[in-house]
A and B are shown apart, each in its own frame.
Chain A
């Protein structure tokens, strides 16, 4: 079934189709246990036909140094940068032109006012689910954490204002990261938080914002980038799927995050997802500042096995993985005998606004971040992570099927989500589309 999915993916991508819908339909079928086997060639062909008629060109991305659909499976193209760096003097010195009512601004998140402006823009206009029931509500602390890693560039936090009113109407960011692709470590920009005010969606600001952030990244002599998207663009390095573990099933059902089947009782559902009050692994505790060297070693060693993964040093681990209240939580297992750090798990806090529900306004979600198991079995380790997340009052624990996550998802009662996350690299070619389990990278 996996092969079929893969076939379908490459098929649709090579043909440059409206793959998103296609993939989703097919994946849904494959996942659904009952209808899993009925993906006949006929229906596949029909889907491809339909998608062909909806064929969509990526006018913008076709002009960018990214893997193109037509090159998929072309083994003669080398891995690595698609374009060589241009001399810095040739990088455009002035910002790109915006439509005349708007102007560029650089957003200093250290300023409380600026941070609030960015927060409000995102809270009201950032990513929603397909049915517009939820919208991400990244906290201000989270934004500061996400945008101020070691060596960050202020100039990469870019806003767009209306000239007359000075209202902030669009935002895009980059942060530097060392990312390893097979044996090569490349300094890249992680591009994120692209958000255009809802009332400006039709003005095609996104392409110029992407170009502007790219220009500013180039000015720092950095030529590669990593980003994710829910839509298929040319061309995903990997396509991952979200899984969800209910911690507070009643609320999730009440707000429409999950549905209660007609033959299922709420009572049984609640019992199904019940977790013990205490973690079970001896030596399971919060990560402390003095654990940074040990965790760095553990993590570096673990991430080696993935084709694309961050290259964390101690500064990175201190920034990204040391617990920050309401932002990121990290736990580890310290062997009671040897006091060695053997296992590690972490998750970040990303609440969402619940749109139009009378009883609840916020969905509190934990997102699996980086996890390492060497001694504690995966299932036990992550079950302990669920237990602490539940105690911290999270409603749901989300995880992508990246790294070794597939080894525990089903067992720990995660259910598949409707969201797919495609990973992309800018100006860097990876020869083959990676399986999620070959990917060691989590972007926020």
Chain B
């Protein structure tokens, strides 16, 4: 009886313990997700969400120039004066690690300010503001704002009381505070970079102020194409062997056609998935199935120049002499000269 009770006790404790562990993990992950969300947010969106007041007090959106440019002041000040510390090729040219960390931190704070779920006390916000101003503009020389302007005055005081603190020290203190508040802030910064660069505000950086433009295709939605295909075709197209297998096992015919007469094998070959091709053939897919244009998977492999798949298909019984509706056999639609498409002619 006592044994039984002890067991129960340990089970209960175990459950409680694992509950807390799970809770802990979920908090950690939630926080990371939150970060990702912030950092991916488009900057315009970010600006919209944050009240000007709130963002402003942290010293990030007083004017709307992109942040990278705002960081100039800080970078310039220290990198110009910091010429003596190394004889590296980039002496006096490259921004120091501190500069970079500081600008990453200001960018992080800007993104975070946009998200109201992170509550940062006014006091800390003012502290950050003061340090930011010192780091980017140096000691406060602005006249004291009138006592009626409460926030402006508080900000001015936060800046002014730091006196002639050197910019480097201000940057370090700023970083300390950010790191204390958001210990994981650096984790998100890799993603942030990407997100920022693709947002409109930073086009100027990659596109340059002048000169030509690198243009790529606008990704168009599938227009006018009224193709109807089943899940199994999509799985074959995406190379998703797991779901494809599930489909087959749940009884979907392995050679089911889409509205253009293509079997999953056509899609797998079209996208170059050798593993799916193998999988389908191992499930007795018809290697010579034709689409509405009379083309087999081997035609697809030939047109799309997928030699490994073509060779595999031929080895598994694909007919190299089979003609499509235009009278072309796979060899005729192939720009390259593949022995495994030719050999059969010799045999015949």
B partners with A: yes
Question: Which positions 225-242 of chain A face chain B at CB distance < 8 Å?
Answer: 227-231, 233, 241-242
Query: If A201-B68, A202-B71, A265-B262 touch, does A258 touch B217 (CB 8 Å cutoff)?
Result: yes
A130 is an interface residue with CB less than 8 A from chain B: yes
Query: If A99-B80, A398-B215, A419-B214 touch, does A194 touch B208 (CB 8 Å cutoff)?
Result: yes
Question: Which positions 189-248 of chain B face chain A at CB distance < 8 Å?
Answer: 197-198, 200-201, 203-225, 227, 229, 234, 237
Q: Which residue of B lies closest to A206 (CB)?
A: B209
Q: Is the CB of A32 within 8 A of B209?
A: no
A137 to B31, CA, bound (A): 42
A420 to B266, CA, bound (A): 38
Which of B209, B214, B223 is A33 in contact with, Cβ under 8 Å?
A: B223
**A-B contacts, 13 listed (Cβ < 8 Å):** A32-B221, A101-B83, A126-B211, A129-B206, A130-B203, A164-B91, A192-B212, A202-B71, A204-B72, A231-B209, A257-B216, A270-B304, A444-B212
B187 is an interface residue with CB less than 8 A from chain A: no
Q: Identify the 9 closest CB pairs spanning chains A and B, nearest first.
A: A419-B215, A417-B215, A21-B200, A242-B215, A230-B213, A230-B207, A101-B92, A258-B217, A419-B213
Which of A34, A101, A164, A398 is B221 in contact with, Cβ under 8 Å?
A: A34
Q: Is the CB of A199 within 8 A of B94?
A: yes
A255 to B211, CA, bound (A): 24
A194 to B237, CA, bound (A): 44
Question: Which positions 109-137 of chain A face chain B at CB distance < 8 Å?
Answer: 126-136
Q: Is the CB of A267 within 8 A of B270?
A: yes
A135 to B210, CA, bound (A): 15
- Which of A52-60, A288-296, A334-342 forms contacts with chain B? A52-60
Contact residues in A for B47 (Cβ distance below 8 Å): 53-54
A431 is an interface residue with CB less than 8 A from chain B: no
A282 is an interface residue with CB less than 8 A from chain B: no
Contact residues in A for B64 (Cβ distance below 8 Å): 53-56
B157 is an interface residue with CB less than 8 A from chain A: no
Q: Which residue of A lies closest to B90 (CB)?
A: A199
A224 to B227, CA, bound (A): 55
Q: Is the CB of B83 within 8 A of A194?
A: no
Contact residues in B for A31 (Cβ distance below 8 Å): 218
Contact residues in B for A180 (Cβ distance below 8 Å): none
Which of B212, B225, B303 is A136 in contact with, Cβ under 8 Å?
A: B212
Question: Which positions 252-309 of chain B face chain A at CB distance < 8 Å?
Answer: 262, 266-267, 270-272, 295, 299-300, 303-305
Interface residues on A, range: 35 or more
B323 is an interface residue with CB less than 8 A from chain A: no
A197 to B300, CA, bound (A): 45
Query: What 0/1 readout, one digit per residue, does chain B (75-99) give for beta carbons within 8 Å of chain A?
Result: 1100010010000011111110000
Q: Is the CB of A261 within 8 A of B225?
A: yes
Extra inter-chain contacts (13) besides given A127-B212, A132-B197, A195-B208, CB under 8 Å: A21-B200, A32-B220, A32-B221, A101-B92, A197-B93, A230-B212, A265-B266, A266-B270, A398-B215, A417-B216, A417-B218, A418-B216, A419-B214
Q: Which residue of B lies closest to A133 (CB)?
A: B216
A266 to B266, CA, bound (A): 10
Q: Is the CB of A263 within 8 A of B93?
A: no
Q: Is the CB of B215 within 8 A of A194?
A: no
Q: Which residue of A lies closest to B259 (CB)?
A: A263
A191 to B237, CA, bound (A): 48
A200 is an interface residue with CB less than 8 A from chain B: yes
Q: Which residue of A lies closest to B204 (CB)?
A: A231
Q: Is the CB of A54 within 8 A of B201?
A: yes
A185 is an interface residue with CB less than 8 A from chain B: no
B3 is an interface residue with CB less than 8 A from chain A: no
Question: Which positions 83-100 of chain A face chain B at CB distance < 8 Å?
Answer: 99-100
Tell me the interface secondary structure of chain B in the complex.
Answer: loop
Contact residues in B for A135 (Cβ distance below 8 Å): 214
Contact residues in B for A415 (Cβ distance below 8 Å): 217-218, 220
A129 to B229, CA, bound (A): 34
Tell me the interface secondary structure of chain A in the complex.
Answer: mixed
Q: Is the CB of B207 within 8 A of A231?
A: yes
Contact residues in A for B62 (Cβ distance below 8 Å): none
Q: Is the CB of B80 within 8 A of A101?
A: yes
A169 is an interface residue with CB less than 8 A from chain B: yes
Which of A132, A199, A270 is B93 in contact with, Cβ under 8 Å?
A: A199
Q: Interface size (B, Cβ < 8 Å)?
A: 63
Q: A227 to nearest B CB, angstroms?
A: 5
Query: If A31-B218, A270-B304 touch, does A165 touch B89 (CB 8 Å cutoff)?
Result: yes
Q: A134 to nearest B CB, angstroms?
A: 6
Query: If A101-B80, A265-B267, A267-B300 touch, does A128 touch B206 (CB 8 Å cutoff)?
Result: yes
Q: Which residue of A lies closest to B43 (CB)?
A: A54
Q: Is the CB of B303 within 8 A of A270?
A: yes
Contact residues in B for A169 (Cβ distance below 8 Å): 93
Q: A159 to nearest B CB, angstroms?
A: 14
Q: Is the CB of A416 within 8 A of B44?
A: no
Query: If A202-B72, A204-B72 touch, does A271 touch B44 (CB 8 Å cutoff)?
Result: no
Contact residues in B for A136 (Cβ distance below 8 Å): 212, 214
Which of A50, A55, A128, A257 is B48 in contact with, Cβ under 8 Å?
A: A50
- Most A CB contacts (10 A, CB to CB) among B68, B80, B218, B266 go to B218
Which of B44, B219, B222 is A264 in contact with, Cβ under 8 Å?
A: B222
Q: Which residue of B lies closest to A197 (CB)?
A: B93
Q: Is the CB of A34 within 8 A of B200?
A: no
Which of A53, A162, A259 is B217 in contact with, Cβ under 8 Å?
A: A259
Question: Which positions 205-253 of chain A face chain B at CB distance < 8 Å?
Answer: 206, 210, 227-231, 233, 241-242, 244, 250, 252
A18 is an interface residue with CB less than 8 A from chain B: yes
Q: Is the CB of B218 within 8 A of A418?
A: yes
Which of A126, A259, A265 is B219 in contact with, Cβ under 8 Å?
A: A259
A435 to B92, CA, bound (A): 46
A369 is an interface residue with CB less than 8 A from chain B: no
Query: If A50-B48, A54-B64 touch, does A206 touch B210 (CB 8 Å cutoff)?
Result: yes
Which of A230, A250, A256 is B203 in contact with, Cβ under 8 Å?
A: A230
A421 is an interface residue with CB less than 8 A from chain B: yes
Question: Which positions 21-72 of chain A face chain B at CB distance < 8 Å?
Answer: 21, 24, 28, 31-34, 50, 53-56
Q: Which residue of A lies closest to B65 (CB)?
A: A56
A443 to B208, CA, bound (A): 16
A241 to B215, CA, bound (A): 9
A53 to B215, CA, bound (A): 27
Query: If A21-B200, A162-B93, A398-B215 touch, does A210 touch B210 (CB 8 Å cutoff)?
Result: yes
Q: Is the CB of B216 within 8 A of A229?
A: no
Q: Is the CB of A101 within 8 A of B93?
A: yes
A3 is an interface residue with CB less than 8 A from chain B: no
Q: Is the CB of A191 within 8 A of B210?
A: yes
B69 is an interface residue with CB less than 8 A from chain A: yes
Q: Which residue of A lies closest to B64 (CB)?
A: A54
Q: Which residue of B lies closest to A49 (CB)?
A: B48
A373 is an interface residue with CB less than 8 A from chain B: no
